[in-house]
Amino acid sequence: MLENAKLAMRSLGRRKGRTALTVGMMVFSTWMVVFGAGLNEGSYADMIRMATGTFTGQAQIQHPGYEKTPSLFETVDDPAPILAALQQRPEVVAAAPRIETGALLSVENRTSGALVVGIDAEAEKKTSTMAGMVKEGTLLGPTKDPEALPIVVGKGLQRRLRANLGDTITLLGQAADGSMAAEVYELVGVVASGQSELDANVALLRIGDAAELLELGKRVHRIAIKLVNASAGDRFIAGFPAPEGTRVLHWRELLPSLEPSIETDRAGTVVFLFVILVVAALGVANAMLMTVMERRREIGVLVALGTTPSRVVAGFVWESMLQSLLGVAVGMALGLLCVWYFAGVGIRFTDQPIEFGGATFDVVYPIVTWRSWAYPGIILLTGSLAGLWPALRAARMTPLEAMRAEARG
């Protein structure tokens, strides 16, 4: 085997121009695949991070029927022990209880429907990025009127109501005991999360104010959970049994359209990889075929001297494998360096944010995943095997055929 490798290296050195061209093609192909996969996977990770981190969380605990048919009456009755248990889980970074209901909000003669969410502002700062999305005012901070209750609305809802900070907003809804839920609030903040549907409908109250308004006592509708990362969701779901009367939901269930969107887009990467594989294989096969044609006389002499067909095949396969190995190694190194560099500085593709799967982003940060190693491996295997057909063609030559072909050439 070592002798075959040395002979292959010597043969490649005899035609430096063609070897450099073939290796260069493999370098470029591998670089494109590694860097392209890093960009794609980085954008997918950002989509998941933003879609789950903004407000949804990587997991939630709810009443079993709440996600499909939200109702004021389907609640988690005693969240305190659940929150205490969550603090003991290594995958859990933070958790935040929430109360939700639909209501009408009015400013003067302008009225709009809204999703009213009662939150614990301090818990939300640890669980979601909502606090960082406040574009005006504060997240349920102090009011100008000491007697007023604070409210925060999404940017889209603010536009519909044409409300400004300090304006009075009237809320009208229904309480859990069947009574009318009505209260007056002061607008203290406006949030712009980047998720257009959320920004167009959400209104935030302090969780204590919401519980009092809706006559819910200690009951809540959701417990949003922030995990160490989105990939920890499966481990958390498997290791945290749902408390009685509740259900633990994965972010895939909470955002059912996000993962299919990513998988559809990822399928395009597979097509791209297939095209790269075909180009790489044809390039190596063409180079090796030209080598066989140029060395027909040499092949004839080797066969005449007793070299076995398997030895001839091994020699040419070693040549294609060494070219592929060198090209893939250099291409992968360059691709990984590009990924690691841009993982820190990011790549801005457009001045306008792009919305995808419910998340909005304008800068992509590439990442290294198992695909960054698997795709070059496939290219290496394909390039190595691409030399097999020319090698078999060379092995089938008889000394007389080789000499005649050389004479005609």
The predicted-structure confidence for 209-268, as pLDDT tens digits, reads as follows: 999 999 999 999 999 999 998 888 889 998 898 888 899 999 999 888 888 888 887 887
Question: Residues 336-341: what's their mean pLDDT?
Answer: 93
Mark which of 223, 242, 270 sits at the end of a domain.
223
Mark which of 166, 199, 223 sits at the end of a domain.
223
**pTM of the model as a whole:** 0.75
Confidence label for 54 from pLDDT (cuts 50, 70 and 90): confident
Query: What is the per-residue pLDDT across 149-171, written as a single tens digit (0 to 9) for each?
Result: 999 999 999 999 999 999 999 99
In the three-class reduction of DSSP (H, G, I as helix; E, B as strand; rest coil), residue 354 is classed as strand
Does residue 386 sit in the same domain as residue 268?
Answer: yes
Does residue 368 sit in the same domain as residue 284?
Answer: yes
pLDDT of residue 345: 84
Q: Is residue 291 part of a domain?
A: yes
pLDDT of residue 369: 86
Q: Is residue 66 part of a domain?
A: no
Query: In terms of Cα–Cα distance, which of 155, 152, 169 is closest to 104?
Result: 169
Does residue 171 sit in the same domain as residue 34?
Answer: no
Does residue 392 sit in the same domain as residue 282?
Answer: yes
Cα-based distances in Å from 176 to 19, 101, 149, 179: 77, 10, 20, 7
Does residue 265 sit in the same domain as residue 156?
Answer: no
Question: Residues 184-207: what's their mean pLDDT?
Answer: 91
Q: How do strand 59-62 and strand 247-250 relate by DSSP bridges?
A: antiparallel
Give all strands (DSSP E) within 120-239, no chain letters: 134-137, 149-154, 168-174, 180-191, 202-206, 222-227
Mark which of 223, 241, 269 sits at the end of a domain.
223
Structural domain count, the chain: 2
Distance CA 347, CA 63 (A): 42
Does residue 289 sit in the same domain as residue 207?
Answer: no
Does residue 196 sit in the same domain as residue 280?
Answer: no
pLDDT of residue 386: 74
Average pLDDT, the chain: 83
Query: What is the per-residue pLDDT across 42-52, written as a single tens digit (0 to 9) for each?
Result: 888 888 888 88
Query: What is the per-residue pLDDT across 179-193, written as a single tens digit (0 to 9) for each?
Result: 999 999 999 999 988
Q: Is residue 248 part of a domain?
A: no
> 146: domain CATH number?
2.40.70
How far, in whole angstroms, is CA 286 from its chain's centroid?
Answer: 38
Does residue 272 sit in the same domain as residue 400?
Answer: yes
pLDDT of residue 361: 61
Distance CA 192, CA 367 (A): 27
Range of the domain at 118: 93-223
Does residue 204 sit in the same domain as residue 278?
Answer: no
Does residue 279 sit in the same domain as residue 404?
Answer: yes
Distance CA 323, CA 384 (A): 8
CA angle 95, 97, 99 (to 5 degrees): 155
- Angle at which helix 16-51 crosses helix 2-14, to 10 degrees, equals 110
Query: In terms of Cα–Cα distance, which of 87, 154, 103, 96 is closest to 125?
Result: 96
Q: Is residue 122 part of a domain?
A: yes
Query: What is the per-residue pLDDT across 380-408, written as a single tens digit (0 to 9) for each?
Result: 888 777 777 666 666 666 555 555 554 45
pLDDT of residue 358: 44
pLDDT of residue 356: 47
